[in-house]
Amino acid sequence: MSSDVAPAARSRYSAVAMLLHWLIAGLIITNVWLAWQAEDLHGAAKMPIMQWHKTLGISILVLSLLRLAWRLFNKPPPLSPDLKVWELWLARIVHWGFYVAMIGIPLTGWLMVSATPLIKVYPIHMYGLFDWPAVGFLSDLPRDQMKATHEAFETIHKLAAKIMIYGLFPLHILGALKHQFLDKDPEFARMIPFLPMRK
């Protein structure tokens, strides 16, 4: 059995890990909702929603990098010793899949919007306060290369978002519900501070 599975100690994630988990989860869900609202709009009507999508997306990128750094330097609580091997591996794949998504999706969004001439007219305006820089060399590519680069990052952005929404989300939520209600482990209490840790 691996070192992150301990028989006795059953504890919670740290306050910082819980705060970042729920803050980032809320922002991601809001950002997916914003993207879906924008899908049927065109031209000027789409702009304000997309500015919020980009602002929240860049905030998710920064918070997720902080969260990853915290995770690498602070060991998470040991997983339940009652988990079967396949459950352990699935939990690990979903958790690390989320880290890849939380960083990779906003990063490809940033690269996508950097590779378009529009970025010089409509920069990423964060909370209406300041401009987030574009990835400079992408905005200076020759037109046809810029278009191909934009389309490549757009394809990855959309595909990765779909994998997260239709793959990682359901697996994560069903897994948490299974451990809480079928296995009767205090699963939610690991991530929610005011719930009791007792079985």
Provide the binding-site residues for ligand HEM, judged by CB under 6 A: 21, 24-25, 28-29, 31-32, 35, 39, 50, 53-54, 57-58, 60, 71, 76, 95, 98-99, 102, 105-106, 109-110, 112-113, 124, 154, 157-158, 161, 172-173, 176, 187-188, 190-191
Q: Mind giving me the DSSP string for 60-96?
A: HHHHHHHHHHHHHHSPPPPBPTT--HHHHHHHHHHHH
Q: Residue 159, Cβ neighbours under 10 Å: how many?
A: 12
Q: Of the two residues 109 and 138, which places its CB atom closer to ligand HEM in the complex?
A: 109
Chain centroid offset of residue 157 CA: 12
- Which residue, 42 or 143, is less far from ligand HEM as judged by CB? 42
User: Would you say 140 or 197 has its CB closer to ligand HEM?
Assistant: 197
* Minimum CB–partner distance for residue 174 and ligand HEM (Å): 9
Contacts 24+ apart (CB under 8 A), 65-74: 65/103, 66/20, 67/17, 67/20, 67/21, 67/24, 67/99, 67/102, 68/99, 68/103, 70/14, 70/16, 70/17, 70/20, 71/17, 71/99, 74/14, 74/16, 74/17
Q: In angstroms, how far apart are the furthest CA atoms of the chain?
A: 62
Q: Which is nearer to ligand HEM, 16 or 140 (CB)?
A: 16
* Least distance CB 143 / ligand HEM (angstroms): 18
Of 54 and 139, the one with the shorter C-beta distance to ligand HEM is: 54
In angstroms, what is the minimal distance from the CB of 173 to ligand HEM? 5
Is 82 or 140 the residue whose CB approaches ligand HEM more closely? 82
Residue 117: name the closest of 140, 94, 91 by CA: 140
Q: How far is the CB of 177 from ligand HEM (least distance, A)?
A: 7
Smallest gap from Cβ 25 to ligand HEM, in A, equals 3
CB of 53 to ligand HEM, least distance (A): 5
The residues with which 66 forms a beta bridge, in sequence order, are none
